[in-house]
Amino acid sequence: MTSDPSKLTPHVGLEITGTTAADVVSGADMQELSRALDERGVIVYRNLDIGDEELVSLSRKLGEVVVPPTREHRLPEIATITLDPSKTAEALAYFRQGNFLWHIDGAYDPVPQKATLLAAREVDKSGGDTEFASTYAAYEALPDADKELIADLKVLHRFGAAQCLAHPDASNAEQESWRQWPDRVHPLVWTRPSGRKSLLLGATADEVVGWPREEGRALLDRLLAWSTGPEFVLRHHWRKGDLVIFDNTGLLHRVTPFEPTSRRVMHRTTLVGELAVA
């Protein structure tokens, strides 16, 4: 690791200060960093001011990097995360309003993304914090009766389910366009080879397979409220220059609302998933 790590909450988050971007990219022990990410879920480097080339280099050391199809940055691995359509594709700015909802990235993919790196280029003092909820800790704290109830349940995830919540007044044509992302069925309880378990929830979780819709929705809503209770959540207030790395598979995350005209801009890299949901 690097110098001065400190836990941010009992369940999630590790903040690292007293280091430089060059030290992190060239000098950090990547196995130790990956281990810390697995244990704490979120690694926060305050005021790191990592450059784009350094961001891509660090990402490659941690895993295989997703190349987003948008190619909106001069480095193809980097996505520009903003709601301002003058700085990104208008369609992307529209879809990213779904980031205000609790979710994991790629829940409708066969293998969700492994992790995400976010570098703050511009921040908004009135909004745009990022919240993270540990679904490992939330599962562990469930009553035994709930663990037994949900042990073998499967959930249908839909891209459109999240977009319907983000855009309740969407036209029929807009709703139809969401169908280009295939539905995906995943276990509600994600069991790792180590035996460690987490909950796979969020805005994309549309229905419990084999349950009446109203009963399934009530269960999913209850579990989401439980998993995002204050005891499981870390709220990160961004400063320009911060780098945050988070485990996409063991967390829910969301952004607190901010205006589309906000100057807030993040540069993001994403690591390819390595573990199918089981």
N- to C-terminal Cα distance for the chain?
A: 30
Domain ranges of the chain: 5-105+113-134+228-271, 142-213
141 φ, ψ to 5°? -85, -5
- Which position has the higher pLDDT, 58 or 169? 58
- Which position has the higher pLDDT, 261 or 38? 38
Give the separation between CA 140 and CA 137, rounded to whole angstroms. 5
Give the separation between CA 44 and CA 101, rounded to whole angstroms. 21
CA distances (Å), origin 53, targets 43, 76, 212, 267, 274: 20, 11, 50, 11, 24
| C-beta neighbour count of 231 within 10 angstroms | 13
CA distances (Å), origin 42, targets 16, 45, 50, 250: 11, 10, 17, 10
Contact residues for 233 (Cβ-Cβ < 8 A; gap 6+): 9, 12, 131, 132, 133, 134
Q: How confident is the model at residue 248 (pLDDT cuts 50, 70, 90)?
A: very high
Question: What pTM, to 2 d.p., does this model score?
Answer: 0.94
**Tokens for 272?**
């390819």
Cβ(270)–Cβ(66) under 8 Å?
yes
Model confidence at 234: pLDDT above 70:
yes
Model confidence at 242: pLDDT above 90:
yes
Q: How confident is the model at residue 255 (pLDDT cuts 50, 70, 90)?
A: very high
Model confidence at 262: pLDDT above 70:
yes
Give the separation between CA 177 and CA 104, rounded to whole angstroms. 21
Percent of the chain with pLDDT over 90: 77
Largest CA distance in the chain: 54
Model confidence at 3: pLDDT above 70:
no
Q: How confident is the model at residue 4 (pLDDT cuts 50, 70, 90)?
A: low
pLDDT in tens, 22-37: 999 998 799 999 999 9
Once rounded to an integer, what is the mean pLDDT over residues 176-199? 93
Percent of the chain with pLDDT over 70: 99
Question: Sign (positive/negative) of CA torsion 86, 202, 37, 10?
Answer: positive
What CATH homologous superfamily does 5-105+113-134+228-271 map to? Clavaminate synthase-like (3.60.130.10)
Q: How confident is the model at residue 173 (pLDDT cuts 50, 70, 90)?
A: confident
Mean pLDDT of the chain: 93
Model confidence at 87: pLDDT above 60:
yes
Once rounded to an integer, what is the mean pLDDT over residues 62-85? 90
Lowest mean pLDDT among 12-26, 81-95, 98-112, 246-260: 81-95
